[in-house]
Amino acid sequence: MKRLLDRLFGVAQEIDGLEGCQLYRWMVLQWGDHVTVYLNHFVDSDGNPDLHDHPRRLISIGLWGWYLEQTPERTRRYSAPWIRTFPATHIHRIFVPSKNCWTLIIVFKTVREWGFWHLGQFIPWHSYSGGADADLADKRKACK
């Protein structure tokens, strides 16, 4: 399936997870800088120990499978089909016990810098990934 999707949409972007790749992401459509549609295949849970937010508002459409979403308030299960929307400031972490969940994601114009929340403090992604907080980055695993 991955090879077919790579041929249709270009080679998937790989996002790191706990034990390797968290997800494969294919760009399906793009309308300028304002709207992009991605097909995501989650194969593992978030690789970072901390919750994160996003740079853009998004709509998530569950196509197949399920995952658990941890927020500061609770952990909740989402089983396909679903349609969800949330702002860039939505703080969460995704767990994929099933190792197989497909979503279609529609993202809108970038509105902010995204990052991680460590001990209640916002850390921009570039710092978290290797800047002043590089010790946190050591907890991340590469997608190889």
Q: What is residue 3's predicted lDDT score, i.e. its pLDDT?
A: 82
The secondary structure of the chain as a DSSP string is -HHHHHHHH-SPEEEEBSSSEEEEEEEEEEETTTEEEEEEEE-S-BSSSSEE--SEEEEEEEEE-EEEEE-SS-EEEEESSEEEEE-TT--BEEE-TTS-EEEEEEEEEE-S--EEEETTEEEEHHHHTTSTTHHHHTT-----
Question: pLDDT tens for residues 15-24?
Answer: 765 556 788 9
For each of the domains in the chain, give its residue range(s) and CATH number, in order of start.
2-132 (2.60.120.10)
Question: pLDDT tens for residues 102-140?
Answer: 999 999 999 999 889 988 898 988 788 765 444 444 444
